[in-house]
Amino acid sequence: LQIFEYNGSAVVAMVGKNCFAIASDRRLGVQLQTIATDFQRISKIHDRVFIALSGLATDVQTLYQRLVFRHKLYQLREERDMKPETFASLVSAILYEKRFGPYLCQPVIAGLGEDDKPFICTMDSIGAKELAKDFVVSGTASESLYGACEAMYKPDMEAEELFETISQALLSSVDRDCLSGWGGHVYVVTPTEIKERILKGRMD
């Protein structure tokens, strides 16, 4: 029993020109059986910070609820939203708290920081941060995603082109992974708007 592959997931985030895109698959499975095709992996922390969690679904949900708890208190005390870099440090700290009994998820964090500069990062299940300038991936389809993103990515893409690129990378990668797929969920975030789209790919 590989616990990280119990539910199946695919998550990717990419940086564009003053914008970012974050995408995930929609399958929730119990090993080989698919039990939901509309599972929410990407969650909004606030208008400019998104987090997507891959891995064990129960930890995905609980960890998200704990992060909402911490962010709400931060907002009340500091009277402002958290910067994406700060939020990433918070997630890393919360994951490391459980160093010897970890949350079985790998987060991907994406946000717009100061001056609308896009920020993405990923970390392992015990909080080791990995910042990237181009794209980050996570989940059972991560190896395919690495290959697809490396091939399709180019820097400074506008929002529409970024959407096309990330969608193609996601759909082609999940087709090579039996545990993820059943469509895609993509958020493209610019300083002025958040565009949410559902993708229809191979529904298997």
Partner 1 sequence: AETLQIVVSSSPVPSHANDKESYLWRSHTGGFGTTLESRGSCKRNQGIENQKKSERKVSSAVSNMSRRYDSRTTIFSPEGRLYQVEYAMEAIGNAGSAIGILAKDGVVLIGEKKVTSKLLQTSTSAEKMYKIDDHVACAVAGIMSDANILINTARVQAQRYTFMYQEPMPVEQLVQSLCDTKQGYTQFGGLRPFGVSFLFAGWDKNHGFQLYMSDPSGNYGGWKAAAVGANNQAAQSILKQDYKDDASREEVVELALKVLSKTMDSTSLTSEKLELAEVFLTPSGSVQYHVHSPESLTKLLVKHGVTQPAAETS
Binding of residue 3 to partner 1 (CB under 8 A): no
Q: Which is nearer to partner 1, 32 or 76 (CB)?
A: 76
User: Least distance in Å: CB of 74 to partner 1?
Assistant: 11
Distance CA 80, CA 103 (A): 28
Site for partner 1 in 173-192 (CB under 8 A): none
Helices (H) and strands (E) in the chain, counts: 4, 12
CA atoms within 13 A on the CB side of 185: 19
Q: Look up tokens 């989940």; give the residue.
A: 139
User: Least distance in Å: CB of 70 to partner 1?
Assistant: 8
User: Least distance in Å: CB of 66 to partner 1?
Assistant: 7
Tell me if 61 sits within 8 A of 7, measured CB to CB: no
Q: Which is nearer to partner 1, 68 or 151 (CB)?
A: 68
Beta-bridge mates of residue 46: 49
Mask of contacts with partner 1, 57-96, x by CB under 8 A? --------xx-xx--xx--xx-------------------
User: Least distance in Å: CB of 65 to partner 1?
Assistant: 5
Would you mind telling me the total number of residues written for the chain in this entry? 204
Tell me if 54 sits within 8 A of 108, measured CB to CB: yes
User: In the structure encoding, which two tokens stand for residue 169, read together?
Assistant: 């990378």
Q: Which is nearer to partner 1, 1 or 76 (CB)?
A: 76
Q: Which is nearer to partner 1, 73 or 131 (CB)?
A: 73
Tell me if 185 sits within 8 A of 198, measured CB to CB: yes
Q: Which is nearer to partner 1, 3 or 73 (CB)?
A: 73
Footprint on this chain of partner 1 (rule: CB under 8 A): 65-66, 68-69, 72-73, 76-77
